[in-house]
Structure 1
């Protein structure tokens, strides 16, 4: 009987150990997402990374495709964010309308949206892209993503950085970047238009709606949810779902593929219903998470161009 008791105890410890390791590993994947073939070293870029972000993974230091300058943006979080400023005039664009801020997604960096620079330059906008905290070359005092909690203050900081110089300010963001714009939207009253791709309602709904969560018991999902927030030092209150009812003046264009397997397009459907201000939506059938433009380039650019013209001209 004693040996049976020891055996049962060992089995219990193994089960607990496996569960703990699994939950911890899952929280790592959520807090530290990794883009395939891409790392924080801007000098390195894998083949898979180039397929997604372009030559040299969108590093304009190496492509030398644009005239640009390195900038730093003081963040309300207490550190400086590195960025690139690409002006229209020194890149051969005569007409000048304003500036657009490009906000990358979670686990990415400012190289991710480099592929959009030619499009926005040709629309007459200076382009400013920067690394959110804990991404790319930005400082990381609290490791990991916070799904809009800290990142939204970085977005607000970038807005304050350009607001004294520009009358016409646009913003474009993808995934966590887009969600961060929406969290800060009540404070972005001077922004003329916002284009957001594949945002989430909230971190909680992102986790609960994921296919992985559907395969787990609800109590395990709740433990994972709490562990991620505890390790990442953020709460679930800062969310697009909670912020949008307090904003109404900025025209909003929500773009979300029905083929998105990371964040369901139904999140954007709900956000459009919540937002009391002017909004447009587009839910194409093709394009994976963060790659709507690649699957629908001509239609994408036409719709975004028309949206900007309606709200700026």
Structure 2
């Protein structure tokens, strides 16, 4: 090889190394993008859950929604199966919450014992619990069902579900609203609704009983105990929790676990299916043991998340009726 040939000769490895470096950068960028996209998508599903394909438009009802919530997706404006009044509940959050008041007397019940407040689950609205109205009317209770913040027709100043953090103030507002008129007040909540009731519990001393379906210990435990988290490393789960709380502008300090220690006067009935794969029944078991006052638990073998009544209405109603009779009669 001549001197000029040596001068112009470049070993192939000098070209291979930069190419390898570029490839690594591209691979790393793709992995980072996939991770970021996956985390953002997961946080979207947590903050903005879609309940069984039901939209916020009360005039629309999907077949799946009707299957789960009943005729016209539980919209009593359309079914006209009850006499009811539209109400607006002033919320401590600074806006009014829309609701339906279904009075017992105007629906053929001779004696009204009080009122029950329905608090729906996360991602749904007041229509979710319409299927329970006949049972509580027959027990002699007016029924007040309302939309939590950012659900149904309620205002949404800070978008996103907060798992009781902001919702508990709506619950407290509804309690203050009915306490001006009713002596006997019961409250029913499902999932986030049940958790919101437990967070508000220290302020609900005038309530005669809470009926709680599938509440959670706290937001962190909800995510940690979910089946989707089983195969993920702890740092990834914590990153998701941090992302959700940051986007939703809430923290996880307000929780049923922390509130239960400050109340002991309200009877509790916790209902949680052992087939609930969204929130394990172990959450209700833990909360019942934590509560300093007596509480009742029922862990049926069947029923998915928020669907215990649907599996066996007669058995469900017998348990709840017994709880109501014992706690209303002794006050």
Q: Same fold (TM over 0.5)?
A: yes
TM-score of the superposition, structure 1-length normalised?
A: 0.99
1:112 aligned to 2:128?
A: yes
Q: 1:1-313 to 2 correspondence within 5 Å?
A: 1-313=17-329
Question: 1:4: Cα distance to partner?
Answer: 1.2
Write the distance in 2 (CA, Å) between the matches of 1:215 and 1:28: 20
Paired residues in the alignment total: 313
Unaligned runs of 5+ in 2: 1-16
Structure 1 runs, 4 residues or longer, greater than 6 Å off: none
Question: 1:278: Cα distance to partner?
Answer: 2.2
Contact 1:249 1:278 in 2 (8 A): no
RMSD of the alignment, in Å? Answer: 0.5
Contact 1:31 1:144 in 2 (8 A): yes
Which entry has the higher C-alpha Rg, 1 or 2? 2
Write the distance in 1 (CA, Å) between the matches of 2:316 and 2:263: 25
Write the distance in 2 (CA, Å) between the matches of 1:212 and 1:146: 20
Residue 10 (structure 2) aligns with = none
Unaligned runs of 5+ in 1: none
